[in-house]
Amino acid sequence: MAVVGLGRMGSIYASRLVAAGVTTHAFDVDTDATRRLGEVGAVAGSSVGEVAKAAEVTILSLPTPAIVEDVVGEALRTGPANPTIVDMSTIDPATSIRLHGLVAEHGGSFLEAPVSGSVMKARDGALTIMVGGSPETLERCEPILRVLGSNIVHLGGPGTGQTTKLCNNAIVTVTLCALAESLLTGVKAGLDARELRSVICKSSGASWLLENWLASTSFAGDYSPLFALELLQKDASLFEQASDELGVPTPVTSVARQMLGAAAARGLGDRDMTAVVQLYEELADVALLSQADSG
């Protein structure tokens, strides 16, 4: 097994595979990340080609479509013949479809497998994995995916996994902004944020994000990134691009994505995606929590 891209998620994937007894080769352009995985039992590699040659399956966990394309290209040029590549990044469906074809031209197999759950579920191997590609490739790779996720869903052929992930993250984008607007309106009207959250969680406006994610970030006063705001902004942009190509209007997602962009422009891009709440706090001139509550 090879893991290329040792950001927070890729490092968790590699660590879980090592813990499961899978011989795991790891590489990232960040040599410190590669070294840290070597210290916990992975085989540290010096290039994409080196780790791909040593493994039956190569997992990618990378930030952008362009980087995924570059790494797949390098793996095809310098890696093994007939490679099996599993892309767990979030990219646009069109690029993923193109990569399915490119890898097949080289006698290999490509599987798109974007995930949902972020670090909160990744550490426990409880991710939802949205698979697009051939059933045969999934059957071969499923034992490895079962180490990383508990809900593995085959959506269909090339592009279907990425489309599903982008649809999910469009909802996340819109929901976060709606939650920020709702909660801060209530607080500015004199309501207690925690009490308001509790009532909404038991009402028709309930959401998993409000009940679980914001509890760890906004309501804990901690915006350490479980999933970075700039990555959600990227995903929302990819969703808009895919929707536009299909002729589907997305005005609500567009406005929410612009709010993420405004938050990123204020230096919040590398914080958790829920840091968009901090932008709304600034614009509304009100804090979600009192100083005593947040302390």
Active site residues: 165
DSSP string, 229-266: HHHHHHHHHHHHHHHHHHT---HHHHHHHHHHHHHIII
Burial grade of 265 (CB within 10 A; 0-12, 13-18, 19 or more): exposed
C-alpha to C-alpha distances, 263 to 39, 155, 217, 280, nearest whole angstrom: 37, 33, 16, 9
**Closest alpha carbon to 253 in 239, 264, 267:** 239
Task: Please state the separation of Cα 81 from the chain's center in Å.
Answer: 29
Q: CA-CA distance, 227 to 63, in Å (whole number)?
A: 12
Q: CA-CA distance, 199 to 206, in Å (whole number)?
A: 9
Adjacent-strand bridge partners of 84: 109
Q: CA-CA distance, 209 to 57, in Å (whole number)?
A: 33
The pair of three-digit structure tokens given for residue 63, joined into one six-digit string: 């930030």
